[in-house]
Structure 1
Amino acid sequence: MGNVIELVARERTYSGREVADLLGIGASTLRKWSMLLEQNGYWFLRDSQNRREYRQMDVAALQRFYRLTKDQLFPQEEAALMIVSHDVALPARMETAVALAPPIPVPVSHNVWEEKLHALAVHVQQQDAAHQALLERVENQEAYIRSNLKERDRRLMKAMNDIMDAKVELAKMKDEQRKTSIWHKLFRLQ
């Protein structure tokens, strides 16, 4: 037991910010994941100010957690249980070897995986169909809007031209009326 404590004491630890940067996540996400693992029985070292200190095996566990939740789309609670059950089963002297080894999958029934994959595939197909329907609808709406805008612009231009033509005609008529009225007045006066 004393050898394990000495080994742990000599092992390099990482701060939360270092681990968050290493994983490419935010510090708050790392805290959330760490608390979730602790709720399921995982244990992190703490410093004198009660901050978590992450060992290499903790970083490896968090990397497995990341892969399970982000790449394989496991719910976070299920991924935490898988990691805790995986890590608890290993003897303490194997901790450093586990950090370097790839994760060992938890035995799960083949049918369960097939059902999950099938459900996921069906969901993806439904999402693709909905996505295509939305794209088609948006394209149809854009075409409708473009055609209506062109028609509106055409009508506005025609109305403006008609108004301008009417103004020109009115001006001509007023000018002619003014001219004729002056001539009429002149000829009537004589």
Structure 2
Amino acid sequence: MGNVIELVSRERTYTGREVAELLGIGASTLRKWSMLLEQHGYWFLRDNQNWREYRRADIAVLQRFYQLTKDELLSQEEAALLLVNQEESEAPSPATVSASLETATAPAPRIQPQTSPLELQVRELAAHVKRQDAAHEALLERIEKQEAYIRSSLKERDRRLTKAMSDIMDAKAQIAKMKEEKRKTSIWHKLLRLN
């Protein structure tokens, strides 16, 4: 079993861009196909940044998916179901795996049972949900800070507008007072000149 794990870990993997070029499709189409296969139980390797890594077997499955949808005119949903069911039927049963382990010449150390692809996906989803929650909380905090800043800016603007209006009203009153004084003095001048 250790040899199998070592072989899988040494198996060359391909990026999504490489596989898309190899299949002659766009990267978004490859993502769509991969997600559809995953929804039906197919499992792709993931790197430490949670990007899909494609093995040769995965590329073969994707090529078959392409054939089923383009040449045999199956819907993508039907093709995904068919391929996932084929993969499950071709996978060795747990009894076969345990029998091959018992017949091994050297006694292998007891290995913890591997987590199933479904468990890995659940863990990945849980981690993704936690990241989304953290991002959501950060956005809410940022929005609250922006709203507080906007409220304080509006209060300051209102204070300045009120002061400006008050200053304008005071200036108008002073101008009116000066005009009235000028008018009064001019009336007295006219009266004094007449005498």
Tell me the TM-score normalized by structure 2. Answer: 0.49
Query: Aligned residue for 1:136?
Result: 144
Q: What amino acid is the match of 1:141?
A: Y
CA gap of 1:118–1:90, structure 2 versus 1, over 3 A, is closer
Ranges in structure 1 where 5+ consecutive residues have no aligned partner:
1-31, 45-51, 55-59
- Give the unaligned 5+ runs of structure 2: 1-14, 39-45, 92-113
Q: Distance in 2 between matches of 1:166 and 1:138?
A: 42
Alignment partner of 1:165 is 2:173: yes
Match of 2:111 in 1: none
1:127 to 128, 135, 151: 135
Q: How does 1:91-130 map to 2 (within 5 A)?
A: 96=68, 100-102=79-81, 104=84, 109-110=115-116, 112-130=120-138
Pair 1:164–1:68, CA change in 2 (3 A) = farther
Structure 1 residues 126 and 173: alpha-carbon distance in aligned structure 2, compared to 1, 3 A threshold? same
Measured in 1, the distance between the counterparts of 2:142 and 2:31 equals 38
Q: Which residue of 1 aligns with 2:187?
A: 179
Q: 1:123 to 1:91 in 2, by over 3 A?
A: closer
CA deviation string 1:63-119 (max 9, x = no partner): 4136589xxxx789943506x533436997xx5389624253899834643442332
How far apart are residue 121 of structure 1 and its match? 2.1
Paired residue type of 2:134: Q
Matches within 5 A, 1:1-190: 35-37=17-19, 43-44=22-23, 52=24, 63-65=32-34, 67=36, 78-79=51-52, 81=54, 84-88=56-60, 96=68, 100-102=79-81, 104=84, 109-110=115-116, 112-187=120-195
Percent of pairs with identical residues? 11
CA RMSD of aligned residues (A): 4.3
Show the counterpart of 1:14. Answer: none
Deviant stretches of 4+, over 4 Å = 66-69, 74-78, 89-92, 105-108
- 2:99 is matched with none
**3-state SS in 2 of match to 1:147:** helix
Between the aligned partners of 1:136 and 1:179, the Cα distance in structure 2 is 64
> CA 1:150/1:114 → structure 2, altered by over 3 Å: closer, same or farther?
same
Partners in 2 of 1:174 and 1:145 — Cα distance?
A: 43
TM-score normalised to structure 1 length? 0.50
Instruction: Call closer, same or farther: CA 1:126–1:38 in 2, change over 3 Å.
Output: closer
Aligned partners of 2:170 and 2:63: how far apart in 1? 92
